[in-house]
Amino acid sequence: MKEKVISNQSLPSTAEPIQRLVQELNKLPGIGPKNAQRLAYYLLRAPEEQTQLLAETIASIKQQTTLCPICFNVTDTDHCLICRNPERDQTKVCIVEQPQDILALEHTRIYKGLYHVLHGAISPTEGIGANDIRITELLERLKNNLVAEVILATNTNLEGEQTALYLNHLISPLDIKLTRLAQGLPFGTELEYADDITITRAFEGRQGF
Amino acid sequence: MSRPRTYQTEAIIIKKIKLGEADRILTLYTPILGKIQAVAKGIRRPKSKLAGHLELLTHSTVSFARGRNLDTIIGSQTIDSFLPLKSDLSLTAYALYTTELINQFTAEYIENRPLFQLLLETLHQLCLTDNRELLLRHFELHLFKEIGYRPQLRECVVCRQPLQPVLNYFSSDTGGMLCPDCRLTQTIVYPLSVDALKVLRWLQDNDFITISRLKIEPKLSHELERVSRNYIKYLLEREVKSVAWLDSLKQSTQLI
């Protein structure tokens, strides 16, 4: 990823601490120089408790969180809430690319099993291979014979597909049921605009009505 | 006369990077404009109308609106999504290798229709042939030709004498073959067997349909791969990233 070019010339007469804050905010994704400037001046005028709280909160996400040693979700305790919950189905593991994906899946409350976060997807052109994401840890985890089903919930783009195909190649010899989330037409869209692959998969995965 | 505000072209999507909340910057290879970059807005949302038509390794008709900096993609329709290619792990790896080479070896806005045709044809053939390694070598040799690095395989690049059917040497620095007498003029040379040289010439002079009948031994295939990769590395002055993945896949599929 290219470093953002941050020009100092646009702020020749600003106090140095503000300029530093603008530069730091500018590094955040989706925040351009003008946005950064607006946020910096907002924080300058905001009550001190608010800025203090923000600073502490930002510091705490690094200091007080770690990755769950089982599923590699982000957690503030030794094991994450999902892995600790005895009511979750221990025989199912759903594989996702990033912790945010768990939030999306949990929001539906339809899945009661466990997760495994890969922290990325295989992307040959960016030089990300199988050893750069948490695949080895997954295979270790599957060795304990507790898991009966692995659900692949990687993204449906090329990298996610590659990762799913690669995991299929590794997991299929293990005698574990392997499933992939269904692919097809998203809710609330029009068929007219759907692409060939989506329509092909939607036909292949059609179900009795 | 001012340029029209929108334009349309066919294109193969060869690279994508994330931008902002749900956008991407795509790199596309087109027949007339050569390599171009454009913003695809909202493409990472599940309901994006464009996403499926603008995935990597897709041949699409794409419409653009001119922007101040980058142009924006306003419409897209798939011509060929190369589904067999995307459903096979190693095929995807081969295809990504070809698009990475195109991306590395080309500059923006330089028309090269034969190169576009070569890429398109190679992606089509990948879906059809089992002779993948040979197809890759064919792609590489013709890529060299289209970008002006066609290696000299007929005569020695130093003494200009026709090569004899003995063990000759390939030199990346001079972009061609050296006869046994001249090989010491270059510091880094790779020995190339008579058979390998014959295959390279055959690949250089023919289209893939003619070549696809050829069956070669793994050892010979390996020799060709090594020479070609060294030449690519020399020309680019860096590693091709997707090679590592391609190799690890080849290894792991051999093991199982």
What is the 3-state secondary structure of chain A? CCCCCCCCCCCCCCCHHHHHHHHHHHCCCCCCHHHHHHHHHHHHHCCHHHHHHHHHHHHHHHHCCEECCCCCCEECCCCCHHHHCCCCEEEEEEEECCHHHHHHHHHCCCCCEEEEECCCCCEHHHCECHHHCCHHHHHHHHCCCCCCEEEECCCCCHHHHHHHHHHHHHHHHHCCEEEECCCCCCCCCCHHHCCHHHHHHHHHCCCCC
CB proximity A1 to B under 8 Å: yes
Looking at residue B22, its pLDDT comes to 86
What domains appear along chain A, each with residue ranges and CATH number?
2-63 (1.10.8.420), 74-204 (3.40.1360.10)
Confidence tier at B169 by pLDDT (50, 70, 90): very high
B22-62 residue pLDDT tens: 899 999 999 999 999 999 999 988 888 888 899 999 999 99
Radius of gyration of chain A measured on its C-alpha atoms:
22
Q: Which residues, 6+ apart, have CB-to-CB distance to B109 below 8 Å?
A: B33, B34, B35, B36
**Cα dihedral angle (A180, A170, B133, B10), rounded to 10 degrees?**
20
Mean pLDDT of chain A: 89
B112-153 residue pLDDT tens: 999 999 999 999 999 998 889 999 999 999 999 999 999 999
> Using CA of residue A60, residue A62, residue A63, residue A66, what is the dihedral sign?
positive
Confidence tier at B215 by pLDDT (50, 70, 90): confident
What are A35's two structure tokens?
A: 């946005």
User: Could you give the CA distance from residue A32 to residue A115 in angstroms, rounded to a whole number?
Assistant: 35
Mean pLDDT of chain B: 91
Q: Is the pLDDT of residue A108 over 70?
A: yes
Mapped onto helix, strand or coil, the DSSP state of residue B26 is strand
Q: How many angstroms separate the CA of residue A127 from the nearest CA in chain B? A: 5
What domains appear along chain B, each with residue ranges and CATH number?
6-81 (2.40.50.140), 84-255 (1.20.1440.120)
Average pLDDT over residues A194-206: 88
The structure's pTM equals 0.85
Per-residue DSSP letter, B177? E
Confidence tier at A10 by pLDDT (50, 70, 90): low
Q: Does the beta-carbon distance from B86 to A197 stay under 8 Å?
A: yes
Query: What are the C-alpha distances in Å from B151 to residues A116, B48, B186?
Result: 49, 45, 16
Q: How many angstroms separate the CA of residue B96 from the nearest CA in chain A? A: 7
The number of C-beta contacts closer than 8 angstroms across A and B is 76
CB proximity A158 to B under 8 Å: yes
Q: Is the pLDDT of residue A1 over 50?
A: no
A31-84 residue pLDDT tens: 888 999 999 999 999 999 999 999 999 999 989 999 999 999 999 988 999 999
What are B54's two structure tokens?
A: 């603008």
Per-residue DSSP letter, B182? T
Per-residue DSSP letter, B179? -
CB proximity B46 to A under 8 Å: yes
User: Could you give the CA distance from residue A156 to residue A182 in angstroms, rounded to a whole number?
Assistant: 10
Q: Does the beta-carbon distance from A158 to B252 stay under 8 Å?
A: no
What are A179's two structure tokens?
A: 């499933």
Average pLDDT over residues B208-219: 87
**Best mutation site among B249, B250, B251, B254 for testing chain A: the one with the most A CBs within 10 Å?**
B249
Per-residue DSSP letter, B49? S
Per-residue DSSP letter, B112? -
Mapped onto helix, strand or coil, the DSSP state of residue B160 is coil
Q: Does the beta-carbon distance from B256 to A158 stay under 8 Å?
A: no
